[in-house]
Amino acid sequence: MSTKELFSTALGLEDPWFVKDIKFDSKKRRLEIILDFSRGSKFFCPECGSQNCPIHDTKERTWRHLDFFQHQAYLTARVPRVICKTCGVKQITVPWARKNTGFTLLFEIMVLNFAQFMAIEPLSVMVKVHMDSLWRILSHYVEQARSGIDMSRMESVGIDEFSKKSGHQYITVFGDLEQSRVVYVSDGRRSDAIHQFADFLERRGVDTSRIKEACTDMWPAYLKGLRERFPETSLVFDRYHVMTMINHAVDLVRRNESKEQKVLKHTRYIWLKNAINLTQKQQKEVQSLSRLSLKTFRAYRIKEALRQLWSYRNKDEAELYLKKWYFWATHSRLDPIIEFAKTVKEHWTGILNYFHSRITNGIIEGINSKIKTAMKRAYGFKTFRYLRTIVYLVAGKLTLPTQY
Ligand SMILES: [Zn+2]
């Protein structure tokens, strides 16, 4: 087998394409494979597929290919433009690359595979390709894969916010709670973020009334957006967010009280923990603090009582319990707890809807770490488009090409 035949086979070239020449420069660490097509060849029209179109002219082009050992490899070929009776003069599509890219399909797929496991910056260094080019490759395949996802059966959506680096900028992530995948990402966390998702569904031909449940936190902008665009969707307030809010209230009580009660210093995490998760040492500490008739301890007991709510199986029983809890909380004489109880009252139905559907954003929480990793990987590229691309790539369960 000659060297030309070897490369031709390795590249999977088919008639009329063949390896015409090979140039190897060990100083520049560069291998160049020059391809050509047989004289008199005719090609398909790239637009209408019509056969046997004669060649109008050719244009030389070069594509970066997978490395040849420690050497960068390039393919070069004169690419014909054909004359189609219907479409006019058109540049053909070569079998080893997509249109308008300087990389072969194999190179792009290699990039796509690595980008699922490593950050873009080191990947750029590793493959010696500018990051902008890598982002363009990723965007193309992610968009292509997303255009094929079926949204028509989605019924429950989980909505959650994630903050970018400094914590002042947010993205809103929409998850399909049954399929446990990210289906949409919008910029910011205003009501407009919800509108963008509704527009996306409509573009996909999905009526927003198909979405039966939305699991979210109590962020007013989300609630506004949901009222405006998903009026028929029932809200389920995520129990994790509810517990986060009461934890915050407990901590406010502790912080106020610790000004007079020095024993409360450095006890923050004890009060935030689920009682059954306390270590033995922490349990003893709670026991000894419980004898001091502390406000913080009362707030803590109200919090733990609210936690009991989620173990109810039946909505009516849960509501009865929540009513008793509400009475207790509003009579606690603890301002942050009373404030929180009022919030509960305002979101009563959405909290109790949990007992119908039992959905939580737990699935989003499950892909939470993936999203956070993705955001770190997009570090240095705070443009929203890139961030979104990488979130889809790692948490969108997309069907991406792994070979060609
Ligand atoms: Zn044509």
Nearest residue to 344 via CA among 312, 311, 305: 305
pTM: 0.87
The pLDDT tens digits for 5-49 are 999 999 999 999 999 999 999 999 999 999 999 999 999 999 999
CA–centroid distance, residue 90 to ligand 1 (Å) = 8
CA–centroid distance, residue 347 to ligand 1 (Å) = 60
Two tokens at 97?
């690359």
| Confidence at residue 165, expressed as pLDDT on a 0 to 100 scale | 67
* 286 pLDDT tier (thresholds 50, 70, 90): confident
CA–centroid distance, residue 93 to ligand 1 (Å) = 12
CA–centroid distance, residue 47 to ligand 1 (Å) = 5
DSSP string, 166-223: TSS-EEEEEEETTTTEEEEEEESSSHHHHHHHHHHHHHTT--GGG--EEEE---HHHH
CA–centroid distance, residue 100 to ligand 1 (Å) = 19
Q: For residue 351, give the 3-state DSSP assignment.
A: helix
Alpha helices in 204-353 (DSSP H): 220-229, 239-257, 268-272, 280-290, 295-309, 315-330, 335-346, 348-352
CA–centroid distance, residue 162 to ligand 1 (Å) = 47
CA–centroid distance, residue 188 to ligand 1 (Å) = 44
| Confidence at residue 363, expressed as pLDDT on a 0 to 100 scale | 65
The residue that leads in pLDDT, 192 or 367, is 192
Q: Which of 74-78, 159-163, 221-225 comes out lowest in average pLDDT? A: 159-163
CA–centroid distance, residue 144 to ligand 1 (Å) = 23
| CA–CA dist 272, 263 (Å, integer) | 16
Q: Looking at the predicted structure, is the pLDDT value of residue 404 above 70?
A: no
CA–centroid distance, residue 17 to ligand 1 (Å) = 21
| Confidence at residue 380, expressed as pLDDT on a 0 to 100 scale | 57
Q: Which of 77-81, 212-216, 365-369 comes out lowest in average pLDDT? A: 365-369
CA–centroid distance, residue 137 to ligand 1 (Å) = 27
Two tokens at 398?
């997309």
CA–centroid distance, residue 108 to ligand 1 (Å) = 28
| Confidence at residue 382, expressed as pLDDT on a 0 to 100 scale | 58
* 299 pLDDT tier (thresholds 50, 70, 90): very high
| Confidence at residue 111, expressed as pLDDT on a 0 to 100 scale | 95
Nearest residue to 81 via CA among 66, 71, 91: 91
The pLDDT tens digits for 352-395 are 999 988 887 776 667 788 888 877 777 655 588 888 999 999 89
CA–centroid distance, residue 106 to ligand 1 (Å) = 27
DSSP string, 295-317: HHHHHHHHHHHHHHHTT--SHHH
Average pLDDT of the chain? 91
| CA–CA dist 215, 193 (Å, integer) | 15
The stretch 305-323 carries a mean pLDDT of 95
CA–centroid distance, residue 48 to ligand 1 (Å) = 4
The b/e string for 85-98 (b: 16+ C-beta within 10 A; e otherwise) is eeeeebbbebebbb
CA–centroid distance, residue 92 to ligand 1 (Å) = 10
| Confidence at residue 379, expressed as pLDDT on a 0 to 100 scale | 63
CA–centroid distance, residue 44 to ligand 1 (Å) = 8
